[in-house]
Amino acid sequence: MASGDFLACMNSPEHKNWLKAVYCLRQIMREPLALYTNDQMKSFHRDLRQQNVFLQTACNTPPRLRRDELSQPCESCSRWMDVIMQHHRQPTVTVNWDNCNPSHWRHDYWEVAKAYMPRGLKKVGRAHECDTPALLNLINFCDHFKLDTTVVRQVIQYRNELVHAIFKVNDEWLHGFRTSLSNLIRQFHSEPWMEKVQQQIQETLALDLSISIVFQGHAADGLVADNMNYAIAQGPARDDADSRRSELAFSIRQMQVQSLRETVHELLYGEDTQDSEELAMLSSFLQANRNLEQLFSAELQTIRSLREERK
């Protein structure tokens, strides 16, 4: 792909839709969800301990993890495991016990929360270190959260589609995403942040981004992905909107390469298996530009090996 084509690809409405949707989930939703789930888990944990004295006793020996199961739990850990399962909306799914440090269940509510989350969170100690999908999974699986889980699952579904969309989504998709996110936010009507977050989502999705790319040195050296420059072409006419729009443009610029990297990693190393078409699309996107190719050289090697294995 020539430089001009790559710039056109970055400026395609579908790529800009993708960026805006990622921004909403990653930047706007994460903090309020972390605040909310943190408070909720704190009170859930306190209630559990008050209702069951066995949950207040210290762990003797932490259980061992074998093939996703905890074996030989002590009395206290065993009670905690029972309680966690009793409050699991889908106890038949694999519970990611390896996220947890069972000997901390007694005094650390976030160690309990992590049992309801996707795997890979062993080293995460606080709500604010979790990403939006992890927090949405907690709300979906733990029955302490009295929200409409259909709405929660719909946003999780949109988020998964976003990962597999290889950096592009169409207007129809974005419209559905906006509706489902809006429905989710309405569930938090008693939270003080609800209206502000709803407004931020609407503003972000209405932004008209114009993407230019800064060349370093001679044009033949290629485009510099790190220096992609996002400018706002136009937006709703509001007095205070200009500074917010430039802030937003700055944030999206900061986020872009990092989001690409996280998405590529989830596709390659996540729990889902990748199909061949997805790998081919991913590879051609990353090779479209010399800088991206350099930034993602290790990932491109993984893609080549995966495709080779499947021949």
81 binds Zn ion (CB under 5 A): no
Tell me whether residue 59 or residue 84 sits nearer to Zn ion (CB atom): 59
Tell me whether residue 20 or residue 106 sits nearer to Zn ion (CB atom): 106
Tell me whether residue 64 or residue 304 sits nearer to Zn ion (CB atom): 64
Tell me whether residue 76 or residue 132 sits nearer to Zn ion (CB atom): 76
Tell me whether residue 102 or residue 133 sits nearer to Zn ion (CB atom): 102
Tell me whether residue 104 or residue 119 sits nearer to Zn ion (CB atom): 104
Q: Which of the stretches 67-75, 115-123, 141-149, 189-197 binds Zn ion when contact is defined by CB under 5 A?
A: 67-75
Q: Applying CB under 5 A, which of residues 24, 25, 70, 77 lies at the interface with Zn ion?
A: 77
Describe the crossing of helices 241-269 and 194-206 by its angle, rounded to 10 degrees: 80
Residue with tokens 């719909």: 154
Q: What is the closest distance, in whole angstroms, from the C-beta atom of residue 61 to Zn ion in the complex?
A: 6
One DSSP character per residue, the chain reads: --HHHHHHHHTSHHHHHHHHHHHIIIIIIHHHHHHHHHHHHHHHHHHHHHH-GGGGSPPSSPPEEETTEEES--HHHHHHHHHHHHTBS-TTSPP-GGG--GGGTTT-HHHHHGGGS-S--TT--SGGGS-HHHHHHHHHHBTT--S-HHHHHHHHHHHHHHHHTTT---HHHHHHHHHHHHHHHHTTTTSTTHHHHHHHHHHHHH-EEEEEEEE-SSGGG-EEEEEEEEEEEE----TTHHHHHHHHHHHHHHHHHHHHHHHHHHHHHSSSPPPHHHHHHHHHHHTTSHHHHHHTHHHHHHHHHHHHHT-
59 binds Zn ion (CB under 5 A): yes
Environment class of residue 153 by beta-carbon count within 10 Å: exposed (0-12), middle (13-18) or buried (19+)?
Answer: middle
112 binds Zn ion (CB under 5 A): no
Tell me whether residue 60 or residue 90 sits nearer to Zn ion (CB atom): 60
Tell me whether residue 34 or residue 59 sits nearer to Zn ion (CB atom): 59
Q: What is the closest distance, in whole angstroms, from the C-beta atom of residue 29 to Zn ion in the complex?
A: 35
Q: What is the closest distance, in whole angstroms, from the C-beta atom of residue 99 to Zn ion in the complex?
A: 16
| Contact of 76 with 106, CB cutoff 8 Å | yes
Q: What is the closest distance, in whole angstroms, from the C-beta atom of residue 189 to Zn ion in the complex?
A: 40
Q: Which of the stretches 74-82, 112-120, 174-182, 187-195 binds Zn ion when contact is defined by CB under 5 A?
A: 74-82
211 binds Zn ion (CB under 5 A): no
Q: Which of the stretches 76-84, 151-159, 246-254, 279-287 binds Zn ion when contact is defined by CB under 5 A?
A: 76-84
Q: What is the closest distance, in whole angstroms, from the C-beta atom of residue 106 to Zn ion in the complex?
A: 9
Q: What is the closest distance, in whole angstroms, from the C-beta atom of residue 168 to Zn ion in the complex?
A: 48
74 binds Zn ion (CB under 5 A): yes
Instruction: Point out which residues bind Zn ion (CB under 5 A).
Output: 59, 74, 77
